[in-house]
Amino acid sequence: MFPSLQVLWSFGLVVALLTITPGVDTALVLRSAAVAGKARAWGAILGIGCGTLTWGALTAVGVSALLAASTIAYTVVRLAGAAYLVYLGGRLLWSAIRGHAGPATVTTGVTDTFFAGWRQGLLTNLLNPKVGAFYLAILPQFIPVDAPHLTWGLALAGVHVLEGVVWLGLVLVLARSLRGWLERPTVVRWIDGVVGTVIAAFGIRLALVD
């Protein structure tokens, strides 16, 4: 038994606003596409998608509920995610201060490969308990009690992933179309500074706000 098209469409409308709201995901893909390269940007997009599918599966089988019920577990995940975001943002800010002779990698010392982008996108998504909290609040409303929860959870999360791939793919195309200008060392430093500040700010906010 799979969700009907009406259920998938309704869920898609709910998560559409979350998808297009600028955040860490958009910042990572924008920076990767503009400076690091198309392969790494697509890796980040698919890594984010894998993280979303994981949250959908975890919510469907009740693990996210256990995480939400345990203050200690939630706090550990929240602080780990915050530390990771602050680390990413700090590396980019340091890169902006130091400057580049040419195009730079997303994080110093990490190659611009598809797998590197996928790993970064996956970790950024999985270490954000706010995503799990969102799924915990929304997903159960779309899954009937007698439905196979894991199947429905993956199907609904798949809609979210599809929307994310389309939206972040558009961000990637836009950034790539402007790459000639975006590769200038001064512009690279500006992008690093802005994106690093955004990511670090999300990390600090995640650490301070329960």
Above 90 in pLDDT, residue 205? no
**pLDDT-above-70 percentage for the chain:** 85
Averaged pLDDT of the chain: 80
Q: Is the model's pLDDT at 108 over the cut of 60?
A: no
The pLDDT assigned to 20 comes to 81
C-alpha dist (Å) from residue 119 to 28, 79, 124, 143, 156 = 12, 19, 8, 30, 23
> Which of 42-46, 91-95, 193-197 is the most confident on average?
42-46
Residue 102's pLDDT is what? 44
